[in-house]
Amino acid sequence: MCLGIPGQIVEITDEARMMALAEVSGVRRAVNVACIADGPLQGLIGEWALIHVGFAMAKIDEDEAAQTLAALHELGETQEALEQMAAGDAALEGRV
């Protein structure tokens, strides 16, 4: 199952590579914002996006993000998704 989890863009880390930091349920992770960039990257700070496998796939509004996070928490899937994201990061970094 593919799962996009809401995250808020908190910092642009590398404009040339279109990389940013997104906070996903209290965990900060590097994400590529190429799919949601529609102007200067600094304009993405504070925006919410659906994050999947290190990519911000689509912008969403804050209400949609809150509703999605609440539903995921109720279903108990948030922790599983965060663990999958961490495992994906580890695999990409060769730590597995």
Query: How far is the CA of 94 from the CAs of 32, 72, 76, 91, in angstroms?
Result: 19, 29, 28, 5
Q: Are the C-beta atoms of 79 and 35 separated by less than 8 Å?
A: no
* CATH architecture type of domain 5-92: Roll (2.30)
Residue whose entry in the numeric block shows the structure tokens 């404009």: 15
Give the whole-angstrom CA distance, residue 6 versus residue 62. Answer: 9
pLDDT of residue 81: 74
Q: What residues does each domain of the chain span? A: 5-92
pLDDT over 80 at 57, yes or no: yes
Give the whole-angstrom CA distance, residue 56 versus residue 70. Answer: 20
Residue 91 CA to its chain's centroid (Å): 17
Model pTM score: 0.74
Report the percentage of the chain scoring pLDDT > 90. Answer: 60
pLDDT of residue 86: 79
